Structure 1
Amino acid sequence: MQKNIIIGTAGHIDHGKSTLIKALTGDETDRLDQEKARGISIENGFSHLENEKTRAENLKLGIVDVPGHEKFVNKMLSAAAGVDLALIVVAADEGVMPQTKEHLAILDLMGVKKAIIVLTKIDLVDREWLQLIELDLRDHFKNSFAETAEVIRVSSTKEEGINELKELIIKTALRMDQQQRSEIIYFPIDRVFSLKGLGTVVTGTLFSGQLKAEDELSLYPAEKRLKIKSLESHGREEQQANAGSRVGINISGIDKSEIKRGDIIAEPNSLLKSKFFEGELRLVENLNFTVKNGDQIHFHTAALETRGRIYLYNKKKAFPGEKVYITLILEKAAALVFKQKFVLRRNSPLTTIGGGEILELDPPPRRKIDDSRIVNKLKELKNASLKRVVELFIENNQNEPVEIESLKKKTTLKYKSLKEILNELTAEEKILELITEKSYIHQTKLKHVERKILKIVSDYNQKYGLKPGIKKEELRSRLDFKLKRKELDSLLQLLYNKELLKEKNNLIAHSSFQIKLSPEMKEIKDKVIKKYKKHLFSPPTRTEIINNYQLEEELFNYLENEGFLIRLSSELYFHISVLAELKKILKDYFRENESLALAEFRDLIGSSRRYALPLLEKMDQIKVTKRVEDHRYSGENLEI
């Protein structure tokens, strides 16, 4: 199985990083004319280390060479996120310098675990000085990830120690575990250019997933579609590239002008893009200032650099070395992944503040939630198992169920892996699937919503005692939890199964609710029904009944809701028996006749056109009759 390790240099300007890479690989990583003229690195350079040993072990070693000048720390930051193994370069004649310390701090904040300390320019000093420098190195690197790193002495110009360094790099890489990476494709772009005959080319480190020639992917945050024409990794054209590789991609479907450093290539509909993120921040120890709520910052992650503001939870200011939980509000939307590492730098002067990891992508509104509760939720997210993380994302969604598409983006899991976890959580009754393979609600929220539904229905029954129940849409609009129609239906079915609610004609009532008429109301009801039954084919209008009997509209509506009356227009209501009576009349008629005109129907029922037409249209509607032009014929629901 192929193993991919990214090696990144770190260290002060003019300590020999680029010269060291040339000695190791033969490649000149300073490619710009300006870099060659000035003798310093301005952009990140790229190479790879390959020999018989790496080929035998199927080991791919990509190398990122970073600028050492303090003005170009942002370039170093764009490379640091993908580094597995750091080569911390210190010149023997100068020792540890300011950018050595800042680069070390950045690598530490980015979660790099393994380092080799390379003491360069040893030909410029004597042995005694080298021993003193090594002791000094140990003091400076104490309590960092490089504290126990091996130190190797080299002279790049005289090629002393270079073979030993190669062997140490390969041995160290073979012992290293591959980083645990997300399942989805995540490819941050650190260079974009055009090549004659090829078109647009982008390069970067493939953080996760696998790229293949002919893949159709998306550019984030623009979400524009593109296609991979060809791939190159370690100087060779490849059909596929694996996580941890340095990759060049020749793409089509999008112009070079539409792409910039920091953009991401990923699968379509796989990433959340937002300006709002929550996470944990660890401030560096040697800050000489405090970080305050609302401070402007430079935000760095992968190859992205943008500005934003930082807001602290539970604090007004944070001190050097402190660990805090924060909200980040960026100037531009970014497409990040769960637990992605980041570094913050001060707006002016540009100084590294600290770094951490993203825990909530596009968090839900927090206005009504106490800071302490938010901090506890973020702490739990940081330390939780993947299964618990999925559960927390569902539980923390305050105002609506969570859709599986959103969970995929928040967790960066493939559908199959995510569905397995969701099935487990459902079986354990920690969550409920509201719409099959689509949306989910946590049991704690479910209980809240059930209580709310029951209260709304009970209050409605109490207030409108003559109405058989509340309409679903009205119930849905009164909830403080957003539910789609199908989601509400799922919850209502649960309450029906528990015999807490009942439904009739799409009206919802408490299971124990019954309409109770006073003796006076019952007397009026009986009189009205008798009136409609007596004038079966030419009944009074709704307004006439309400005025003549001084009937409340609510009681009239009750007569319809309970099925005593049927409505054919806003004013015309008929006794329910009219349907059976009409069927009988029409059945007798069509035994002797083939068709029926409106005037004939009017005479059949002994009524006027005002009543005959809506009644005949009702017969058409329920397929007792069938209209063809101006005549009716026997319908499929009229059994003769």
Structure 2
Amino acid sequence: MIIATAGHIDHGKTALVHALTGIDTDRLPEEKQRGMSIDLGFAYQPLDSGRVMGFVDVPGHERFIRNMLAGVTGIQSAMLIVAADDGPMPQTREHLSILDLLGVSDGVIALTKIDRVETNRLKEVENEIKTMVAGTCLKDADIMPVSAIDGSGIEDLRDHLEAMTDLLEKRKGNGYFRLSIDRCFTIQGAGLVVTGSVFSGKVNVGDVLTLSPDGTEVRVRGIHSQNRKSETGIAGERCAINITGANLKGLAVKRGGWLLTPQIHAPVPRFDANLKVLPNEKKPLRHWTPVHVHAGAAEIPGRIAILGQKEISPGAEGLVQVVLDRRMSILRDDHFILRDQSAQRTIAGGKVVDPFSPSRGRAKPVRIKFLEDMMYSEPDYALSRLLQHNPEGVDLKKFSVAWNLAQEDVEALLEIVEHKMAGPEKKPSIFSKVHWETLESEVISNLNAWHQANPDRSNLNAHGLRTATSKRIAMTVFQDVLDCLANSERIVNLGPGYCLPGFEPALSKNDTALWNKIDPILREGNMKAPVVSELANQLKLDPKALEKFLVKIAKLGRVRQVAKNRFFLPEAVVSLAEIAAALGKSNGERGFSAAEFRDQANIGRNLAIEILEFFDKSGLTWRSGDTRKVLKSVSDIFGTN
């Protein structure tokens, strides 16, 4: 367990930690010279149970609140320290407000310097403390009178803290590893060491991690967990991790960064959150207020965009978008603190709802509903609600990263939630069954309407069908919709486009008569179709007029234009493509040459070159030098005939 101290300057935080552990947490020469904490200090106390109790000693002076925030973000337990002679002071109240905004789950109040006051003063201060903590996260915390000078109450406090360690629910270790960096230094012979609190997951020696937000890949050389050498580090512990990497030289690793599993490296320029304004604020928090954002150990300037209203009153909560001056690594449920523009006053705090917030449409009703669904405590219920309310689908990658779900967690989630998945494997979208079926029905309806409006055209391409759809669907996802419909034979894939089963484009009487003359000649030529000039000569027609007609019926799917002056029947193209596919399969990685294709197809060299170039443009083959390789199946490119 990690316990963070909190309290006003000179109320005895460092002295109390020293009395409990025997360790002086003031490590900087300036701290010893001035007699006050300036930066974070750390101490550890081994317990009889074999566990280790750690302390983060934070500075109490208002000028060093930024350092205090770097130490308390992410901890579960706090020890609020109040001097008996002074009683609650301004920084006592601000530190308490910060702990409350961070949702610290457990804590104790140490009433220090009792050797300086009489009994009646102790009672008076205890009452002041009870009034101060009423309604906060420490409302039920025990008040323990102690003196670091004569040792009074120290053993009782130590026993109480040890009991807290045993009773405190172990922090959830689910998800990928995340460590918030609050210190970094170099050890001769070992290299770079970063320290901080582990927010989630587990790390082992030898693991490959990422420094975020920079994105630099590193490897774990060694781990000290709770001040002991270890092979692992887990959520809820403080760890010092020795890292190495090819790109570490010259990299400015500093407080505020993260060391994490590569799968959740996704720094963002903004995030959506639920924000609570402190009750003692004199004015409401208004839209676009400049602030300092403290999350993890980072401090970044930013602005607050209030969603759905113009302001948030003191003591009230509301949805906001936090717009940052630079990117930050942050995930759903992370707590953060806001201080005013001058960084003199804590004004609010909250919890992240969605780290992947949009730059546009952030306050639209559909977006607000999305955030309301994301606020449910369990991912399966949240995802079910999102699928219900988002007919355009949900980005599964963003959802799993936002919730810090490991791959096995995602797989278990998809077993529970009924869904339809579409899109590329690395960036899939998921839909509810109802929305998927509605999308399919709309495609069929739109295709039918297009046929009625264009009876002389054989097919509509994928882009045209997507444009006609009422929902904004990525092309990679929409293609899966079309493939699903084609595989179930509800639409027909003609290669260049799609049509409904049984649809035949209508030709005029004159066009039909001309086609009836052309069709037998092309069938006779099959894979050796004549050029336009030869065909025109046979039919005694003007070559330009014939070419114009062939281009027209190519749009109807009656022929395919392989070259500027040559047209084939679709089945002839498929036959030629199957010859190329067979060559590609038999030759493997070697590929095949134009001569091999020519010989297999039993056609001339010039015609073979024309056809192969057509296949290259169509995406069936890929040319490298004098050889070609087959990239896709014949049916994917040319459909079925």
TM-score clears 0.5: yes
Say whether the 8 Å CA contact 1:364–1:397 is kept in structure 2.
Answer: no
Map 1:132-171; keep pairs closer than 5 Å: 132-171=124-163
Tell me the residue number matched to 2:598. none
Pair 1:503–1:36, CA change in 2 (3 A): same
Tell me the residue number matched to 1:601. none
How far apart are residue 388 of structure 1 and its match?
Answer: 2.4
- Opposite residue 41 of structure 1, the aligned amino acid is S
Query: Bigger shift: 306-315 or 190-199?
Result: 190-199
Pair 1:483 & 2:474 matched: yes
Tell me the residue number matched to 2:627. none
Tell me the residue number matched to 2:258. 264
Map 1:66-465; keep pairs closer than 5 Å: 66-253=58-245, 254-255=248-249, 257-348=251-342, 350-364=344-358, 366-367=360-361, 371-391=364-384, 402-404=395-397, 406-425=398-417, 428=418, 430-434=419-423, 439-443=428-432, 445-447=435-437, 449-450=439-440, 453-454=443-444, 456-465=446-455
Cα shift readout 1:527-578 (whole Å, capped 9, x = no counterpart) = 4547878998676468888974996978534645677656553123478999
Name the SS of the counterpart of 1:136 in structure 2.
helix
How far apart are residue 459 of structure 1 and its match?
Answer: 4.7
Query: Bigger shift: 131-140 or 232-241?
Result: 232-241
Cα shift readout 1:498-518 (whole Å, capped 9, x = no counterpart) = 654222345301335321233
Pair 1:11 & 2:3 matched: no
Name the SS of the counterpart of 1:28 in structure 2.
coil
- Opposite residue 466 of structure 1, the aligned amino acid is D
Instruction: Name stretches of at least 5 consecutive residues in structure 2 with no aligned partner.
Output: 574-602, 615-641
Cα shift readout 1:323-380 (whole Å, capped 9, x = no counterpart) = 000011111111112111111111126211111111111224542x753443333223
How far apart are residue 182 of structure 1 and its match?
Answer: 4.1
Pair 1:567–1:214, CA change in 2 (3 A): closer
Map 1:532-543; keep pairs closer than 5 Å: 540=533
Say whether the 8 Å CA contact 1:14–1:40 is kept in structure 2.
Answer: yes
Distance 1:61 1:295 in 2: 40
Name the SS of the counterpart of 2:458 in structure 1.
coil
How far apart are residue 99 of structure 1 and its match?
Answer: 0.6
Cα shift readout 1:449-477 (whole Å, capped 9, x = no counterpart) = 43553355345434443232123355457
Cα shift readout 1:571-610 (whole Å, capped 9, x = no counterpart) = 234789999xxxxxxxxxxxxxxxxxxxxxxxxxxxxxxx
Say whether the 8 Å CA contact 2:291–2:304 is kept in structure 1.
Answer: yes
- Opposite residue 346 of structure 1, the aligned amino acid is D
Say whether the 8 Å CA contact 2:225–2:240 is kept in structure 1.
Answer: yes
Tell me the residue number matched to 1:585. none
Distance 2:58 2:320 in 1: 29
Distance 2:439 2:532 in 1: 45
Say whether the 8 Å CA contact 1:90–1:118 is kept in structure 2.
Answer: yes
Say whether the 8 Å CA contact 1:393–1:407 is kept in structure 2.
Answer: no
Larger radius of gyration: 1
Distance 1:75 1:558 in 2: 74
Tell me the residue number matched to 2:35. 39
How far apart are residue 302 of structure 1 and its match?
Answer: 1.3
Distance 2:21 2:570 in 1: 93
Pair 1:571–1:41, CA change in 2 (3 A): same
Distance 2:238 2:348 in 1: 27
Say whether the 8 Å CA contact 2:185–2:192 is kept in structure 1.
Answer: yes
How far apart are residue 288 of structure 1 and its match?
Answer: 1.1
CA root-mean-square deviation: 3.5
> May I ask how many residue pairs the two structures share in their alignment?
580
How far apart are residue 440 of structure 1 and its match?
Answer: 3.0
How far apart are residue 14 of structure 1 and its match?
Answer: 0.4
Distance 2:132 2:394 in 1: 51
